[in-house]
């Protein structure tokens, strides 16, 4: 079984909706890193030297490769990533090898067989 790592950087108010959408689309788990900061095309404004940027979360999802594109598209839709600048970004990278996913593989093998 081959995996992709989906990395999502989104406003912390969207995290729960993104996690729910990913799970509904086939993701079996996620890791959330809180209080990340980011900057898009335009630098964020400051007020007396204090940053006004919203907190971001980084969400890591290890997913089966046949499900990855569908999960990625669902995340983009739920997160409104293409609606306005600065709403978030998600991308996927190939995973060469993974350990500790035996229980997920048991669940995923049934889903992947149905999809293929």
User: What tens digit of pLDDT does each residue of 44-53 get?
Assistant: 666 666 655 6
Strand partners, 46: 51
Instruction: Tell me the CATH number of domain 3-41+50-115, given options 3.30.70.120, 3.40.50.410, 3.10.20.600, 3.40.50.300.
Output: 3.30.70.120
At 65 the three-state DSSP class reads helix
59, exposed or middle or buried, with CB in 10 Å at 0-12, 13-18, 19+?
A: buried
CA 38 – CA 41 distance, rounded (Å): 10
User: What tens digit of pLDDT does each residue of 71-109 get?
Assistant: 999 999 999 998 888 889 999 999 998 888 877 776 777
Q: Which of 24-28, 54-58, 84-88, 110-114 has the largest mean confidence?
A: 24-28
pLDDT, greater one: 18 or 38? 18
Q: Identify the CA nearest to 9 among candidates 30, 31, 38, 29.
A: 38
Mean of all residue pLDDT scores within the chain: 85
Q: What is the mean pLDDT of residues 27-41?
A: 84
Domain chopping of the chain, boundaries? 3-41+50-115
Instruction: Check residue 100 and report its DSSP letter.
Output: S
> Quick one: pLDDT at residue 42?
66
Query: Positive or negative CA dihedral for 13, 17, 18, 20?
Result: positive
């Amino acid at each position: 079984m081959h995996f992709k790592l989906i990395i999502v950087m989104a406003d912390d108010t969207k995290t729960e909706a993104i996690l729910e959408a990913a799970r509904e689309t086939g993701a079996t788990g996620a890791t959330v890193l809180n209080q990340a900061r980011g900057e898009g095309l335009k630098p964020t404004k400051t007020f007396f030297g204090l940053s006004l940027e919203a907190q971001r979360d980084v969400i890591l999802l290890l997913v089966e490769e046949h499900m990855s594109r569908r999960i990625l598209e669902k995340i983009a839709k739920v997160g409104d990533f293409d609606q306005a600048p600065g709403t978030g970004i998600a991308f996927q990278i190939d995973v060469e090898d993974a350990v500790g996913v035996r229980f997920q593989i048991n669940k995923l093998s049934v889903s992947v067989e149905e999809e293929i």
